Structure 1
């Protein structure tokens, strides 16, 4: 029989490897930025066109490559970082497996310009589909410029699986942030379609965190720094008030490599226990430095999931370091006496505390109340003139009674023996409802009680309003746009780049749902109006809350973008528990709820109301008899 096992051709093998390494433009961004860092660059530029589908270019001022290295770097498993098997256990660089550039060249058109420091000429190489088209000397700046054009041009099926430009842009921003956050000592810039997205100067880690995540975090970061012989932990966590309902501001770096670790994330969450709500996520940017021999980073193609030889020690140490930092923040407030130099000139500070003054202080009644047992409540009658207080009280009470046209109430001595208890006091709204049994009543500003023929129903006001808004927004997208309430003064909304890309993607649907807003450049939007049912002056909070809810649904549910948006708006704009409603508002909510196509559950599956039948209640009371 003929042999049937054959070696794969290089171009096919490279495309298979590319399927693991290069899944989308952001994958190439990550690999190219890490190569630039490994090359010793101090200035790194990222240039994007058409969300990376047309162009991803990284320019650095690193050490560059020779003519031979420039050609060899595109071969499979060609690397300058591994020479012996022992090197695999001492990896301190970002890239090391030598498959990134070969994978990129297999699915894109590549242009490489590079020149070593001190050399007169550099090298130019042009490759597509793993085939070298041109290689020649060229004039170029010191360092390397790597341009990846027309990703997946030779694999149309893979290109069809790419998401919208806004979605791909969000992934690119995420990868850029992860590398830029890890190396604050380097300068990074990021340009997309000719517009600057980021320009990050060299600086401290705190400056880099604030530059990326926003200036409002500047005074809300708590420094974490703990060191042992085994490992070091340093970085920042956000104060409890910065916690959000969605992930996104959580960064773990091990030896400057970004990782995802649910195990270590749990350590942070346990350190924040009882300080933030259980469904919130704290901000943290933490760097863990330890011997590479204790870490296996080669367990995942993207190297974002790694293994530790002793996870329990790491968990306990990270948890302890964060707890210690938070304890210092809570227990030791900052005192700065230099703000008021006059305090140093007071007599209490300057003059000596003589023995005569000591005797005078210790002989007083105030001193005794602090030093003797059972004296804190004692009033020294000899030094107090209390006899006139009763007269003042009686005059004030009789005067108030005369103004109200009532008699003076009986003194405590003549008061009746029994007093009504708090439990016997009836809420005024229940008294009003007694006159008309169909008037709904609000219970603890959270539920609405309404009588029906067979008994009564108890409605969750927030879940019910969420269902009403959800169906209202669905009709707006399918039939008629919602009315917009124009703002007297338009507001400018400044967003983070990733959030700005998200809003740009949702903008047509947002406009249909009543938001009058448009891009204003540099991650900024002008908001001229909001849906009519949103309170005026609350535009920014409304959109920020909407983004939080949208990201929450994106992480939890596999539903369409439009469905995520409608659910997010309904949850964000629903009446919260604790809001007092008038009888008319409650009745309108009941009427609108039962006009819905599915009134019994909220969009998230929570019951909107529970019914109680008279027969069931009768049985309940009989059981208790």
Structure 2
């Protein structure tokens, strides 16, 4: 009987490894950028075409590779980062597994150009699907250039799973930002489809954050510093008033490596307790330096999760450092127990002895004694003297004389009138007709609208009902492209990050169909001169931020889905909230508008908008 177990060919094994290492174009970007950093490059350029599906190129001025290294780097488990198993717990580089380049070469067309500084000629290698096509000597500048074309060309099923260019480019930008934030001393450039998106010269951490996220970010940052034996913390946190609904501006870096940690994030949220609105997320850019032997990086394929030896101490230190910064820069109220120098004794009076104050009291004075009059200076039993009373009292023969003018009888007491208990009218001033009562609506707990119907009672959720009304209204305006706008006296100026501005530019045509009028859109600023009639000027920034937040992680694949998402997001933001008091006319208008909709039964998010209670249902409640 032939054996069942067989060794997989290298190209098959590489494709299996690629499924773990390379999930999308952003995965290739991450691996190539980290290799460039490990090569001690000071200038790194990333060139992307069609969100990385067609072309990804990383050019650096690092140390380069020899002919032998250039060939070996595409072999599985070949790496320059480690030599022994013990090195896994003393890592000072980005990559260490030796599978990235082999995996990338297995599913794409790869060209490598590299040259070391001390060599005259460099090496040019061409690989297609793990097969070496060519290897030549070439005249090249110092450094390395990796060019990856036609990603997943030999795995069409994987290529079909890729999202739209907009979504994939967002992931590429995310990886680029994480690497650029961790290394502000390196010059980074990002070019997409021939246009320069980022040009980041060498700077410090604060300037790098501002260059990536926009100039207005500078006023939002609060520095954080802490140095202990366990961890050294530096970086910045955002002020609570600038918190957003999304978590796009939250970065942890451990030993210059971006990580995700729900445990450390909880420490940050604990420090912000009581300072954030419900659902808001603070911004933070925190850099942690810990001894390499106290962490384990090799627990996740993308190396974005780390296991710490002493998580509890790290949690406490991080929470304390953030809370201290919020109080130190007067962001949060604090109790200050430090001594106030203004309360100190003046220098001239320090040598003087304190003197007891003289308190003079006439212990013999009796206000109820007959003929009590103002006395002049008398001698006390102790021999002390008393000064004359500066406020002489009016002489009275006795205390009874104070009440001489009051009547002793109870005539006026008897004249007090009490509220009559007699019923002067009916409980209802006038009897209403049955039709009038049936048409009335009542608001219950500022949340539900109750109205009577022939079969019983109608209970409407005012928030979900208004969402349905606004959703159909906005969707119709976007589709028909006929929405009314109200002009603003002064244009509204709003600031967003680069990534948010790119998404806003894509949403611009659909937003204009809802009533927005955009005068100007820069790299990080937008001027709005007109807004929809149903939107207040103070709500514009909130509506746009929530819209961007809702669509940022799930950008629709087609125009209809995009318009549907915009209508849903705006309806959710602008719908009347629970707890809002509505007048009787507003209640009736909302109920009438709801039942004029095409689908009044459910909200845009498939939640019931109303329920009905029949008379039979109510009768059962009162039946024993």
- Residue matched to 1:117: 117
Relative distance call for 1:55 and 1:553 in structure 2 (3 A) is closer
For the 8 Å contact 1:196–1:522, the answer to whether it is kept is no
SS in 2 for 1:219: helix
Question: Deviation of residue 166 (structure 1)?
Answer: 0.6
Relative distance call for 1:12 and 1:268 in structure 2 (3 A) is same
Relative distance call for 1:523 and 1:224 in structure 2 (3 A) is closer
For the 8 Å contact 1:236–1:285, the answer to whether it is kept is yes
1:26 aligns with 2:26: yes
For the 8 Å contact 2:49–2:55, the answer to whether it is kept is yes
- Residue matched to 1:592: 593
Question: Deviation of residue 170 (structure 1)?
Answer: 0.5
Relative distance call for 1:110 and 1:212 in structure 2 (3 A) is same
Separation in 2 of the partners of 1:254 and 1:117? 31
Question: Deviation of residue 507 (structure 1)?
Answer: 5.1
Equivalent positions of 1:174-573 (< 5 A) are 174-328=174-328, 329-331=331-333, 437=437, 438-440=439-441, 448=449, 450-452=451-453, 459-475=460-476, 480-485=480-485, 487=487, 495-506=496-507, 509-510=510-511, 513-515=514-516, 522=523, 530-535=531-536, 539-551=540-552, 563-573=564-574
Question: Deviation of residue 160 (structure 1)?
Answer: 1.5
Relative distance call for 1:74 and 1:443 in structure 2 (3 A) is same
- Residue matched to 1:602: 603
Question: Deviation of residue 29 (structure 1)?
Answer: 0.8
Q: CA deviation digits over 1:283-306, x for unaligned, max 9?
A: 111222212222111122111122
Separation in 1 of the partners of 2:299 and 2:282? 28
SS in 2 for 1:15: helix
Question: Deviation of residue 612 (structure 1)?
Answer: 6.9
Separation in 2 of the partners of 1:165 and 1:309? 40
Question: Deviation of residue 518 (structure 1)?
Answer: 9.7
Relative distance call for 1:528 and 1:221 in structure 2 (3 A) is closer
Separation in 1 of the partners of 2:39 and 2:257? 16
Separation in 2 of the partners of 1:311 and 1:133? 49
SS in 2 for 1:190: strand
**Alignment gaps of 5+ in structure 1:** 335-349, 365-381, 385-413, 419-431
- Residue matched to 1:406: none
Moved more, 203-212 or 508-517: 508-517
SS in 2 for 1:502: helix
- Residue matched to 1:423: none
Question: Deviation of residue 24 (structure 1)?
Answer: 1.0
Question: Deviation of residue 80 (structure 1)?
Answer: 0.6
SS in 2 for 1:197: strand
TM-score normalised by structure 2 residue count: 0.76
TM-score normalised by structure 1 residue count: 0.76
Relative distance call for 1:298 and 1:490 in structure 2 (3 A) is same
Number of matched pairs:
549
- Residue matched to 1:424: none
For the 8 Å contact 1:177–1:212, the answer to whether it is kept is yes
Separation in 2 of the partners of 1:513 and 1:43? 45
Moved more, 311-320 or 593-602: 593-602
Separation in 1 of the partners of 2:152 and 2:193? 20
Q: CA deviation digits over 1:476-516, x for unaligned, max 9?
A: 56x63452427467767654233234345545654555556
Equivalent positions of 1:578-589 (< 5 A) are 581-589=582-590
- Residue matched to 1:394: none
Moved more, 274-283 or 486-495: 486-495
Separation in 2 of the partners of 1:576 and 1:244? 19
- Residue matched to 2:395: none
Separation in 1 of the partners of 2:456 and 2:347? 79
For the 8 Å contact 1:167–1:505, the answer to whether it is kept is no
Relative distance call for 1:537 and 1:331 in structure 2 (3 A) is closer
Question: Deviation of residue 605 (structure 1)?
Answer: 5.1
Question: Deviation of residue 354 (structure 1)?
Answer: 11
Separation in 1 of the partners of 2:30 and 2:115? 22
Question: Deviation of residue 586 (structure 1)?
Answer: 2.9
For the 8 Å contact 1:231–1:288, the answer to whether it is kept is yes
Question: Deviation of residue 255 (structure 1)?
Answer: 1.3
Bigger radius of gyration among the two = 2
Separation in 2 of the partners of 1:193 and 1:100? 25
Separation in 2 of the partners of 1:577 and 1:149? 53
Relative distance call for 1:470 and 1:416 in structure 2 (3 A) is farther
Q: CA deviation digits over 1:537-580, x for unaligned, max 9?
A: 8655432231123347779xxx9655543321211222345656
Relative distance call for 1:220 and 1:490 in structure 2 (3 A) is closer
- Residue matched to 2:396: none
Question: Deviation of residue 87 (structure 1)?
Answer: 0.7
**Alignment gaps of 5+ in structure 2:** 337-345, 360-388, 392-414, 420-431
Equivalent positions of 1:56-67 (< 5 A) are 56-67=56-67
Separation in 2 of the partners of 1:65 and 1:138? 13
Question: Deviation of residue 118 (structure 1)?
Answer: 3.6
- Residue matched to 1:404: none
Separation in 2 of the partners of 1:415 and 1:232? 80
Greater helix share, structure number: 1
- Residue matched to 1:574: 575
Question: Deviation of residue 157 (structure 1)?
Answer: 2.0
Relative distance call for 1:511 and 1:331 in structure 2 (3 A) is closer
Relative distance call for 1:49 and 1:527 in structure 2 (3 A) is farther
Separation in 2 of the partners of 1:415 and 1:354? 67
Separation in 1 of the partners of 2:561 and 2:263? 30
Separation in 2 of the partners of 1:313 and 1:454? 64
Question: Deviation of residue 256 (structure 1)?
Answer: 1.3
Relative distance call for 1:354 and 1:251 in structure 2 (3 A) is closer
- Residue matched to 1:148: 148
For the 8 Å contact 1:197–1:522, the answer to whether it is kept is no
Relative distance call for 1:312 and 1:482 in structure 2 (3 A) is farther
SS in 2 for 1:46: strand
Separation in 2 of the partners of 1:518 and 1:160? 38
Q: CA deviation digits over 1:402-430, x for unaligned, max 9?
A: xxxxxxxxxxxx99999xxxxxxxxxxxx
For the 8 Å contact 1:470–1:603, the answer to whether it is kept is yes
For the 8 Å contact 2:520–2:528, the answer to whether it is kept is no
SS in 2 for 1:218: helix
